Amino acid sequence: MKIHFVAFLDILGFKALVDEEVRSGSGEYLEKLLRCHQKCAEIFKSDPNLNIIQFSDSIVISRPYDASHFIPFITSIAEYQRYLLDEQLLCRGGVAVNQHFTNGTFTFSAGLIDAYNVESKSARYPRVVIAPDVIDLIYPSSPPSVEIMKEDDGLYFIDYIGVTKDERPRLLKRAIRNIVNSLKFSDTPSIREKGIWLANYSDAILRTNHTPPKFEGGRIQID
């Protein structure tokens, strides 16, 4: 096995889309998800050293480790996240560096385990988090590049809105508005927090105004 960059991405809300497709039988959701998988292959095909494995709601992207290819690697991930936004879908994920082997039908990978752990334990919101040891490896003595944001929880993630904000800006803002409005008032806390996080992120980068008020109610007068 050789050292690779490995990204594990998870499309959020996939089960709900599948359930709706089974219920309606319209083919709409199947076509949307198929478009997303085809677009993923298109975005990453320019790098002959890169490997993609897609199954169900999960995508594994890997390439042999070379520090000079880190920015193109994460920029391509940002472009895919943006495409999902345009389709009004979200994903979260993790990026790691470790030993990795795949031959197309068989995968044996410490890097995949690391990236999956980052996705499942740290990402939480619709963001692709870069493992701390990757940041230390690529930027040992300088701040991370502009494609990367640091959140107040100390984690670094790929700034997919910032990277792609000049591409189809009206579509971007419309897609974010629709997604936020569909999530931020959900009765399910885990869904609502994802919508509010996206609202916070959009407001910070695009200067939108999607974040709902945190508190409501009148004042109590104390004599």
Instruction: Identify the CA nearest to 211 among candidates 186, 162, 177.
Output: 177
Residue 6 CA to residue 108 CA, distance in Å, equals 12
* Whole-number Å distance between alpha carbons of 154 and 105: 36
Q: What are the residue ranges spanned by the domains of the chain?
A: 2-163, 165-213
Q: How far apart are CA 17 and CA 3, in angstroms?
A: 35
How far apart are alpha carbons 93 and 20 in whole angstroms?
24
- In tens, the pLDDT along 2-51 reads 999 999 999 998 888 888 878 888 888 788 888 888 888 889 888 889 99
For the whole model, what pTM was predicted? Answer: 0.92
Superfamily of domain 2-163: Nucleotide cyclase, GGDEF domain (3.30.70.1230)
The model's pLDDT over 50-109, given as tens digits with 9 standing for 90+, comes to 999 988 889 999 999 999 999 999 999 999 999 999 999 999 999 999 999 988 788 899
CA dist 187 and 191 (Å) reads: 8
